[in-house]
Structure 1
């Protein structure tokens, strides 16, 4: 059984801790990081449209792509060190939610963290990308809180009936 652990900025430690505690020892663990392509593309387009006609060597898009790759590698290194057991690393670029779902194909478990409103229980504790992944994952999902879960008293009240 392969366990895929989605490594996302700000929430990854809880995912790694959950995988370390719950994934069986012989299970393969894949640390997954996905970089969205929109920031380098936007920088490239803005530069070309406003400033850089005829000066491709000054295009900031390539520099942003290199910086994003270095940041992803650092996160994956930190996650692997925290995991403390053999694992593989997978870096993907594209629409984050779709890349996570595609990477989870054939996995026995996908671990991800809540990334929305973490002050109260409920559906808004998932951001749009995580909601998509939970709704479309092709395998079982372990959804963790990146910090201690809020009190049960934070559940929204039931709707009033007219």
Structure 2
């Protein structure tokens, strides 16, 4: 079975631990991290609109995008280390909810963690992106609570 594990900064440990606990040795695991474009685009837009006329080499959007890619690589490496078994590492860029649903095509299981209000069970325990993924995933979803 192909298992896709969606990791992000706040909940990756719980998702990786669930994947380790609920998959077999023969399962193919893919760790997915999605970098949203919104922060780098906002930095670029602010630069162009207010500061950057005539100085494209100073565009902070490029630096933010590079830092984001570096952080994604580090998080994927940490997740692979915690998983402690072979896994494919996949980075995507775009709207996280759309990229996760797209990446889950052909998977037998998607593992993700709740990322909303942890004090209240129910719909508010899911952030908007996770709610979209749960509602639109093309495969079964294992939804776990992150550690306290």
Which TM bucket (shorter chain)? over 0.9
* 1:108, distance to aligned residue in structure 2 (A): 0.4
> Using the alignment, how far apart are the partners of 2:69 and 2:58 within structure 1?
19
Q: TM-score, normalised by structure 1?
A: 0.90
Matches within 5 A, 1:72-151: 72-147=72-147
Structure 1 residue 81: deviation in Å? Answer: 0.2
How many residue pairs get matched? 148
Q: Report the 3-state secondary structure (helix = DSSP H, G, I; strand = E; otherwise coil) of the residue aligned with 2:91.
A: strand
The structure showing larger relative contact order (alpha-carbon pairs under 8 Å, at least 6 residues apart) is: 2
Q: Which ranges of 4 or more aligned residues in structure 1 deviate by more than 3 Å?
A: none
Q: Which has the larger radius of gyration?
A: 1
Runs of 5+ in structure 1 lacking a partner?
A: 149-162
Could you tell me which runs of 5 or more consecutive residues in structure 2 were left unpaired when the two chains were aligned.
Answer: none
- Could you say which residue in structure 2 is the equivalent of 1:47? 47
Q: How far apart, CA to CA, are the structure 1 residues paired with 2:39 and 2:143?
A: 27
CA drift of 1:120 comes to 2.1
- TM-score w.r.t. structure 2 length? 0.98
RMSD of aligned Cα (Å) = 0.7
* Rounded Cα–Cα distance in structure 1 between residues aligned with 2:134 and 2:44: 32
